[in-house]
Amino acid sequence: MRRPSSLNCDICGRQIDGQFFKVIVEGAKMLVCRKCQTLGEPYQEEMPVAPRPQVSPVRLPRMMPRKTMVLPRDVGELEVTDDFPEVIRKRRMKLGLSQDELAVRVKEKLSVIQKIETGKVAPDTRLCRLLEHELKVKLLVPVKETELPKSTVPTEVTLGDIVKIRGKQENKSPNP
């Protein structure tokens, strides 16, 4: 056991400079200084030695190598349509289903269906697939990459640009 660099007596609180002692005081194990060692019963910590169990050689069945799970290509390339609350609500009503009946069919809570129809929550891919199947609608569409408009502002602003900007603002202020 390594000794900590600064050790204080558990009874009096003074720093232990020399040897420390292990004692039991009223059932509590403590590290104490030479002066306080008489206040308890000394003890030695014994390292328990667990008996080694007798193991007979057993042949385990050979495990098949795990296949790495490959996701379909389109999973990452699909997103929920923007108008999903309207699409789901209109189609459900057209089929004559209540929110409760739809929830039972897709094995989801009624509150989740209500939140989806109000647009508070977007359904995950699994639930989208179930809703698509039950309602016969298309909710997942390919991701559209939008181009960012090209700005005329330089990508880097220098100190000189800031001075010019402040200079223009100061010149525009009316003089009294």
- Residues 6 or more apart in contact with residue 77 via CB below 8 angstroms: 142, 143
Looking up residue 122, the CATH number of its domain turns out to be: 1.10.260.40
On whether both 23 and 83 belong to a single domain, the answer is no
> Does residue 116 lie within any of the structural domains?
yes
The tens digit of pLDDT for each residue in 82-119 reads 899 999 999 999 999 999 999 999 999 999 999 999 99
Domain annotation covers residue 5 = yes
Q: Is the pTM of this model over 0.95?
A: no
| pLDDT reading at 19 higher than 70 | yes
